[in-house]
């Protein structure tokens, strides 16, 4: 704690004389040389661990990790709900003061240490060794449900290889199903009453043909029949799609970053090409301009609502992906002198620019759907899986050559998801290989074993009511806990390790930052970013809601299971802290303040 306090105060007391800087640098270099001798160079990157083949491999991998499904199916709806164009104000502010500082910090940490999160934090401060394992636990939970989304998209890609899309028409004996296709009688009826914004009527709750197909044909789910107590049977088509999704991930990672670094040249760039194609097709559709106006029309009064700022910060946080361990893992394979500062800024702004551009694509198509169905925009605007597997499939049934547009859209979703999956699984396998170096000679089997375990656990979401398990894990595995981990991370680096010492590490990697940029990073890491994260954690607990689907909360026992999922990631913090204390006590190593200081193994990976 003394060391952390020194560095915090040093950051605000002005720059010391050059003689003191030189002496301090010489002393630090001497200490590091001594430590390096003590551990016999144990921190240098082992050749068996590997590196990126070139800088472009890393850049595209990090870009693909940041630009994911949330950019396409979550940001546009948030922008619409929270003031349209005016939402960009809190969104940009949160990018500058919350997302970007964490993004750069993690890249710099991983690159300097050459280690994954489970090794890095234990070397920086033994008392918080559990932080890396907590991040790893969240990442593995995400792997389980995230690849399920890719399995769904694979299902839709193959289902669309027909002259007429199978969700164009309702199945027989589905009285609550409404067709919105261009040639359907329901659409014609809806259009005839569009002037009065009259919604179609049906016995019970109306659902579109696409929603009925999503529930019935793919999930095997019957609302009102399947639930937590009647879980249904395995849907074997979905099982095969999940197997295919994990097989793609396994094959891409079988050689580690050497193989995944080549795959991302396609998976990271292809989505941008499809977004441009969909944009130019979307703006030519009838009603597209109306949809885009809904998206960008500013409503500045919304800026006075606290939830707008909370959602902006949350979207930035989950979009860039800090505190999952993925960024640290990717950067740990960098060359020591890579300019990760430049990479962080470029990737962060590319990520946010993609979100904004995707909003134009999505709302041009939703505007067309509103025009075709006769429904107001607020009835067709959706987010998440509902946008990808219900709203968009509904819209493409009305387009000429609809199977082509369906293929482009769902194949784009596959590539968006795979980039994120590569990093998530690489984070897990890197942790295993860092801790059990004897496994590095059998890296392929580690990847195969990890993917096989993820597949088996994912089978719980391939049953008829598996969508409930998917929703539960999605809502609970990375919520308040991941925000807490981010706070602990930035607090450890800025308050314990010291921002000035961290800047010394950054300079050691060859990055010379202007004074103004340094003060920006200092202000964020020491004050602004930690405060934002604490507010978000508290707000999560204040506004906690029960997990459920379609406004129907799950049973109390399932709510408890959801809390258990979140808590199961946090328990690594106290457990490994206690273990470190006992371990150091047995070996005669110092306790107290030494638990919060870097160990001799904290060395530059050069």
Domain ranges within the chain, ordered by starting residue: 2-11+43-65+84-165+234-272+303-356+401-596
**Residue of higher predicted confidence among 180 and 464:** 464
- Note whether 317 and 91 are within 8 A (CB): no
C-beta pairs of 119-123 under 8 Å, 24+ apart in sequence: 119/431, 119/434, 119/435, 120/328, 120/332, 121/489, 121/492, 122/576, 122/580, 122/599, 123/598, 123/599, 123/601, 123/602
* Count of other CB atoms within 10 angstroms of residue 161: 10
**Residue of higher predicted confidence among 207 and 140:** 140
pLDDT at 43: 40
Please state, for a pLDDT cut of 70, what percent of the chain lies above it.
Answer: 87
pLDDT at 29: 54
Statement: residue 431 has pLDDT above 70: yes
**Which pLDDT tens digit goes with each residue over 268-282?**
999 999 999 999 999
pLDDT at 190: 41
Lowest-confidence segment of 28-37, 199-208, 296-305, 451-460 by average pLDDT: 28-37
pLDDT at 12: 33
Ranked by mean pLDDT, which of 364-368, 392-396, 573-577 comes out on top? 573-577
pLDDT at 148: 97
Statement: residue 447 has pLDDT above 60: yes
* Count of other CB atoms within 10 angstroms of residue 377: 19
pLDDT at 19: 45
Statement: residue 524 has pLDDT above 50: yes
Residue 297 backbone phi and psi in degrees, to 5: -60, 120
- Note whether 78 and 383 are within 8 A (CB): yes
**Which pLDDT tens digit goes with each residue over 527-540?**
999 999 999 999 99
Helices (H), 321-477: 326-332, 340-373, 377-380, 385-386, 392-396, 402-435, 443-458, 466-476
Measured over the CA atoms of residue 234, residue 237, residue 238 and residue 239, the dihedral's sign is positive
Contacts of 369 (CB under 8 A, 6+ apart): 180, 287, 375, 380, 391, 394, 395, 398
Statement: residue 112 has pLDDT above 70: yes
- Say what the pTM is: 0.88
Average pLDDT, the chain: 86
- Note whether 51 and 61 are within 8 A (CB): no
Residue 463: strand pairing partners:
234
- Mean pLDDT of the region 232-248: 97
Hey, what are 376's tokens? 């107001």
pLDDT at 566: 96
* Helix 340-373 / helix 288-296 crossing angle, nearest 10 deg: 130
- Mean pLDDT of the region 567-577: 97
Contacts of 206 (CB under 8 A, 6+ apart): 176, 177, 178, 199, 200
Statement: residue 39 has pLDDT above 90: no
**Which pLDDT tens digit goes with each residue over 350-367?**
999 999 999 999 989 889
**Which pLDDT tens digit goes with each residue over 157-193?**
999 999 899 998 888 777 778 776 544 444 434 444 4
- Mean pLDDT of the region 511-524: 96
Please state, for a pLDDT cut of 90, what percent of the chain lies above it.
Answer: 64
Lowest-confidence segment of 73-77, 80-84, 336-340, 452-456 by average pLDDT: 80-84
Statement: residue 119 has pLDDT above 70: yes
Statement: residue 430 has pLDDT above 80: yes
**Residue of higher predicted confidence among 284 and 551:** 284
Which CATH architecture does the domain made up of 2-11+43-65+84-165+234-272+303-356+401-596 adopt? Orthogonal Bundle (1.10)
């Amino acid at each position: 704690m003394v060391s952390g306090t020194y560095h915090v105060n040093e950051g605000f007391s002005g720059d010391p004389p050059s003689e003191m800087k030189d002496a301090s640098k010489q002393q630090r270099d001497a200490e590091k040389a001594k430590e390096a001798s003590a551990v016999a160079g144990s921190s240098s990157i082992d050749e068996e661990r590997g590196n990126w083949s070139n800088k472009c491999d890393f850049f595209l991998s990090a870009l693909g990790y940041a630009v994911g499904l949330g950019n396409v199916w979550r940001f546009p709806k948030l922008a619409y709900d929270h003031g349209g164009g005016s939402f960009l104000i809190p969104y940009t502010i949160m990018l500058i003061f919350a997302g970007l500082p964490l993004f750069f910090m993690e890249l710099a940490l991983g690159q300097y240490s050459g280690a994954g999160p489970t090794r890095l934090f234990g070397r920086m401060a033994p008392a918080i060794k559990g932080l890396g394992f907590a991040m790893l636990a969240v990442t593995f939970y995400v792997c389980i449900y995230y690849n399920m989304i890719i399995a769904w998209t694979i299902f839709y890609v193959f289902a669309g290889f027909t002259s007429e899309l199978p969700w164009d028409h309702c199945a027989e004996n589905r009285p609550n199903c409404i067709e919105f296709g261009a040639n359907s009688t329901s659409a014609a009826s809806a259009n005839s009453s569009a002037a009065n914004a009259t919604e179609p009527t049906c016995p019970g709750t109306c659902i579109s043909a696409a929603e009925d197909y999503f529930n019935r044909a793919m999930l095997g789910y019957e609302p009102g029949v399947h639930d937590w107590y009647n879980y249904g049977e395995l849907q074997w088509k979905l099982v095969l799609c999940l197997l295919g999704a994990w097989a793609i991930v396994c094959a891409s990672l079988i050689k580690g970053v050497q193989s995944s670094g080549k795959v991302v040249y396609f998976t990271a760039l292809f989505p941008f090409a499809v977004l441009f194609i969909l944009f130019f097709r979307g703006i030519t559709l009838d009603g597209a301009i109306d949809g885009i106006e809904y998206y960008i029309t500013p409503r500045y009064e919304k800026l006075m609502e606290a939830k707008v700022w909370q959602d902006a910060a949350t979207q930035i946080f989950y979009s860039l992906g800090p505190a999952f361990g993925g960024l640290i893992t990717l950067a740990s394979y960098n060359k020591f002198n890579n300019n990760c500062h430049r990479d962080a800024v470029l990737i962060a702004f590319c990520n946010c620019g993609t979100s904004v551009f995707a909003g134009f694509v999505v709302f041009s198509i939703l505007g067309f759907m509103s025009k075709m169905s006769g429904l107001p925009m607020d009835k067709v605007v959706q987010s998440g899986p509902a946008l990808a597997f219900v709203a968009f499939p509904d819209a493409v049934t009305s387009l000429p050559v609809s199977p082509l547009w369906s293929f482009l859209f769902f194949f784009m979703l596959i590539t968006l998801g795979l980039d994120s999956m590569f990093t998530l699984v690489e984070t897990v396998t890197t942790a295993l290989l860092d801790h059990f170096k004897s496994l590095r000679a059998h890296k392929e089997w580690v990847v195969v074993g990890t993917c096989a375990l993820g597949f088996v656990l994912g089978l719980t979401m391939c049953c008829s009511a598996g969508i409930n398990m998917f929703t539960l894990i999605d809502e609970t595995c990375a919520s308040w806990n991941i925000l807490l981990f981010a706070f602990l991370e930035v607090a450890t680096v800025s308050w314990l390790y010291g921002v000035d010492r961290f800047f010394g590490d950054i300079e050691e990697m060859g990055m010379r930052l202007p004074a103004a940029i340094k003060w920006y990073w200092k202000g964020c890491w020491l004050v602004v970013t930690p405060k934002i994260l604490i507010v978000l954690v508290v707000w999560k607990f204040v506004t906690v809601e029960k997990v459920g689907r379609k406004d129907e909360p799950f049973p109390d026992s399932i709510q408890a299971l959801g809390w258990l999922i979140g808590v199961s990631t946090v328990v690594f913090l106290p457990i490994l802290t206690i273990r470190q204390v006992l371990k150091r006590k047995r070996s005669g190593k110092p306790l107290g303040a030494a638990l919060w200081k870097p160990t001799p193994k904290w060395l530059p990976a050069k």
